C-alpha cells in the first residue's frame, strides 16, 4: 500500500498543467522565453507588420522579440527568424546567433541562411575573448590606481561588454560592483537603471521590483526624478504583470508619464504600455474604475491614442456592450500572443475579462435565457442546442461552482436564474453559526484549562511494569508505530 504515490503523481501533473497553460505566477526558471522552447503556436496572421513593429525597438530586446515571433508564429516564422539571424550577426553574441540559425534550419532546412557561418562565429569568439581580457586587465589597472571614477567606468564597460555578448549573470555582477564606486546620485540612478534593464531581460522580476524601489527612494534632483519616473513605472508594471498581480500592474502602467515616448525602446514602447495597461485594467477593475481611471485619465489617454482598439474595447466594456469588446480582443489575440511579455498572460487576462463580462451582463437580470447568453458570449456555439454538453453551459457550470456567479441554471426552461437573497434569513443563519462556533471553541478551551488544572494531560505512561509484561508483544507493536505507549483498550466499534 503505497499512499505516497498518488500525491507524487499529482504534483507532477499540476506542474505540467501549469506549463502547458502558460499561466501562473512568476516562475523565474521558465520566465525568459528565449531559453525554453516555444510554449504557444500562433497560426493566425497578426495585424502588425514585422518590419515596422521591430523598428520600434532597440537593443537586445529586438532579437528576443524576433526570435519569439519566429518560433511561435507559423505565419511569420521565416521572415522573423531571418531578421533574427541578421540581428544576431550584427551584434557580438555568438550563442544567440547559433540559436537563431538552428531555429531557422528547423523551419526551412534548405535556406542558404540556415547554414551557420562558422567562420564569423570563430572570428567573433576570438575578438570577444580578446576584448574581455583587455577590459578586465584595464579594470585591474584602475583598481591598483584606486581612482573611484575609473573603477566605476571600468566596471560599467565590462558590464556593457558582458551584456553584449550575452553573459547576463556576469554583466549583472559587474554592474552590482559599480555600487561602491558611485559618487553622485546620477551615477547611482544610471547604474540602477542598467541593473533593472538587465533583470528584465533575465526575467528576474523580484530584482526588478527591489531595484525600482531603490531608485525611487534615491535622493536626487527633481528633474532627474521626473526623467526616470516613466521608466520606473513601466519596469515596475512589467514585473507586477509577470508576478500575476494585474491590478497593481494596471496601476503602475496607468501612472506612467507620457513623456516616456520612445526613450525606453530597449525594453518597451509606448504602444506596449497602452496594451499592457489597458488589458490589465480591463481584467482587474470594475466599470466605474475603468471609466474614471482609464478613459478619463488625461495622461494615459496619450498612450491609448497609440492603440485605439484598446480604448474602444474599454469603452465598449464600460457601456456594457460586451460582444464588440470581446470581438476586438479576439481579433488582436494573435498580436498579443506574439508579445514577449504578454504571451504567458494573454489567456489568464482574457478569461478574467470574459468572466467579468458575464458577471456584469447578469447584474440587471433575475433570469436570462441561455440562448441570449450564448449569442452574446459564444456566438460560434449558438447553433448547438443548449444542454449540459454545450461548452458554454459547461463554462457557466464551472463559474457557478467556483462561486463567481451567484446564479443557477434551469435546464427545463433553459434560463439562468440569479439567486434571491433573503437578508433576514442569512443574518439569522450566520448568527446561529457564529454562536455555535463560539460555544464550541470556548468549550474546547475551558476543558483544556480544566484538564491541565486537574493534572490529566496525556503523558508517557507510568503504568506498572507488570501489566506491560503481560502483553509485551502488543505494546511493542504499538510503540513501533510511532512512539505510542498507550493501549487503546475498551472501545467497541459503531
Partner 1 sequence: MAELLSHVTSVSSRLRSVDKISDDRYDCQLRDLVTYIKQSDKNFDSEYLLNNLNPSHHTLSYLLMLNFKIKYLQNKRRTVLPEELKPGNDLWVKAVLFFRTFDPIQVRYAGGEWRQLIEIIGQAAEATAKPFLAVQVIRDAMLRLDPSSGILTSVHIIFLRLSLLSRSYSYALPVIGKPVIWFPTGSVQAYKKYIEQPLCSELVSMDSLLSDSFGFSAKLTYRDHTQYFLYGAMVYMALKEWDKSLHWLSIVISSPVNDSVSKIMVEAYKKWVLVSLLGHGKLVTAPKIISSHVLKVFQSLAKPYLSLSEAFERNDLQRLRLEADVGQSIWRHDNNEGLVSQLFHAHKSFLFLKLGRTFSALTAADVAQQAFTPLDSSSKIEEFVAALVMSGSLRATLVHLHGRGNGTMLHFSRLPEPYITRERCMRTQLAKEGRALEIITNGADQCSNELMMGNENLQLVSKNQKWPDTLGKDGCNIIGEADGGGYEIDEDIMGDNSK
**Rule CB under 8 A: which residues touch partner 1?**
1, 3, 6, 387-389, 397, 400-401, 408-413, 417, 419-420, 422, 425, 428, 431-432, 435-436, 438-460, 478, 481-494
Place of cell 544567440: 96
- Give whichever of 90 and 387 is closer to partner 1, judged by the CB atom: 387
Nearest-10 crossing angle of helices 60-72, 94-107 = 20
Note every long-range contact of 179-184, with CB atoms under 8 Å and residues 24 or more positions apart, other chains counting: 181/148, 181/149, 181/151, 181/152, 181/155, 182/152, 183/148, 183/149, 183/152
**Cell (9 digits) for 129:** 575573448
Nearest distance from C-beta of residue 377 to partner 1, angstroms: 18
Nearest distance from C-beta of residue 345 to partner 1, angstroms: 28
Nearest distance from C-beta of residue 166 to partner 1, angstroms: 46
Nearest distance from C-beta of residue 395 to partner 1, angstroms: 12
User: Residue 179, CB half-sphere, CA atoms under 13 Å: how many?
Assistant: 9
- Give whichever of 259 and 450 is closer to partner 1, judged by the CB atom: 450
- Give whichever of 217 and 388 is closer to partner 1, judged by the CB atom: 388
- Short-list 294, 300, 310, 190, CA closest to 247: 294
Nearest distance from C-beta of residue 410 to partner 1, angstroms: 4
- Give whichever of 319 and 486 is closer to partner 1, judged by the CB atom: 486
Q: Answer for the pair 237, 271: CB distance below 8 angstroms, yes or no.
A: no
- Give whichever of 6 and 364 is closer to partner 1, judged by the CB atom: 6
Give the span between the Cα atoms of 472 and 466, in whole angstroms: 10
Give the span between the Cα atoms of 473 and 471, in whole angstroms: 6
- Give whichever of 425 and 464 is closer to partner 1, judged by the CB atom: 425
- Give whichever of 145 and 473 is closer to partner 1, judged by the CB atom: 473
Give the list of residues 6+ apart from residue 182 with CB closer than 8 angstroms, or none: 152, 188, 191
CB burial string 122-150: b at 16+ within 10 A, e below = eebeeebeebbeebeeebeebeeeeeeeb
Nearest distance from C-beta of residue 375 to partner 1, angstroms: 21
Nearest distance from C-beta of residue 21 to partner 1, angstroms: 19
Amino acid at each position: 500500500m503505497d499512499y505516497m504515490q498518488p500525491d507524487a503523481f499529482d504534483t507532477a501533473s499540476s506542474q505540467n498543467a501549469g506549463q502547458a497553460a502558460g499561466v501562473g505566477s512568476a516562475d523565474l526558471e521558465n520566465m525568459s522565453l528565449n531559453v525554453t522552447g516555444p510554449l504557444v503556436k500562433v497560426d493566425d496572421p497578426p495585424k502588425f507588420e514585422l518590419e515596422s513593429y521591430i523598428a520600434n525597438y532597440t537593443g537586445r530586446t529586438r532579437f528576443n522579440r524576433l526570435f519569439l515571433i519566429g518560433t511561435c508564429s507559423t505565419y511569420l516564422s521565416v521572415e522573423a527568424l531571418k531578421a533574427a539571424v541578421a540581428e544576431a550577426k550584427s551584434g557580438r553574441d555568438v550563442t544567440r546567433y547559433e540559436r537563431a540559425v538552428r531555429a531557422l534550419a528547423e523551419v526551412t532546412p534548405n535556406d542558404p541562411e540556415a547554414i551557420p557561418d562558422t567562420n564569423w562565429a570563430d572570428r567573433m569568439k576570438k575578438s570577444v575573448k580578446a576584448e574581455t581580457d583587455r577590459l578586465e586587465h584595464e579594470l585591474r589597472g584602475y583598481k591598483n590606481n584606486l581612482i573611484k571614477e575609473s573603477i566605476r567606468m571600468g566596471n560599467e564597460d565590462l558590464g556593457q561588454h558582458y551584456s553584449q555578448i550575452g553573459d547576463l549573470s556576469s554583466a549583472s555582477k559587474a554592474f552590482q560592483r559599480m555600487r561602491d564606486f558611485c559618487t553622485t546620485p546620477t551615477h547611482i540612478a544610471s547604474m540602477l537603471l542598467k541593473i533593472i534593464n538587465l533583470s528584465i531581460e533575465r526575467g528576474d522580476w523580484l530584482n526588478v521590483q527591489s531595484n525600482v524601489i531603490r531608485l525611487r527612494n534615491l535622493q536626487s534632483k527633481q528633474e532627474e526624478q521626473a526623467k526616470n519616473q516613466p521608466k520606473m513605472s513601466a519596469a515596475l508594471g512589467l514585473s507586477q504583470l509577470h508576478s500575476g498581480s494585474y491590478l497593481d500592474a494596471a496601476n503602475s502602467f496607468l501612472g506612467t508619464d507620457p513623456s516616456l515616448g520612445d526613450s525606453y525602446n530597449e525594453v518597451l514602447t509606448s504602444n506596449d504600455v497602452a496594451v499592457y495597461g489597458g488589458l490589465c485594467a480591463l481584467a482587474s477593475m470594475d466599470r466605474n474604475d475603468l471609466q474614471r481611471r482609464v478613459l478619463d485619465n488625461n495622461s494615459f489617454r496619450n498612450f491609448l491614442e497609440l492603440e485605439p482598439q484598446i480604448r474602444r474595447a474599454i469603452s465598449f466594456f464600460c457601456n456594457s456592450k460586451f460582444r464588440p469588446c470581446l470581438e476586438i480582443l479576439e481579433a488582436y489575440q494573435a498580436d498579443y500572443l506574439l508579445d514577449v511579455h504578454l504571451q504567458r498572460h494573454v489567456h489568464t487576462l482574457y478569461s478574467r475579462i470574459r468572466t467579468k463580462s458575464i458577471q456584469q451582463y447578469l447584474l440587471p437580470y433575475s433570469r436570462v435565457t441561455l440562448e441570449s447568453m450564448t449569442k452574446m458570449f459564444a456566438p460560434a456555439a449558438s447553433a448547438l442546442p443548449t444542454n449540459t454538453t454545450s461548452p458554454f453551459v459547461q463554462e457557466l457550470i464551472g463559474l457557478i461552482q467556483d462561486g463567481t456567479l451567484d446564479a443557477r441554471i434551469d435546464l427545463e426552461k433553459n434560463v439562468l436564474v440569479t439567486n434571491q437573497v433573503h437578508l433576514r434569513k442569512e443574518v439569522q443563519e450566520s448568527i446561529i453559526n457564529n454562536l455555535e462556533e463560539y460555544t464550541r471553541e470556548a468549550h474546547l478551551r475551558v476543558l483544556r484549562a480544566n484538564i491541565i488544572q486537574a493534572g490529566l494531560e496525556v503523558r508517557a505512561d507510568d503504568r506498572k511494569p507488570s501489566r506491560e509484561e503481560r502483553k509485551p508483544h502488543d505494546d511493542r507493536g504499538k510503540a513501533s508505530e510511532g512512539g505510542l505507549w498507550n493501549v487503546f483498550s475498551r472501545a467497541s466499534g459503531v
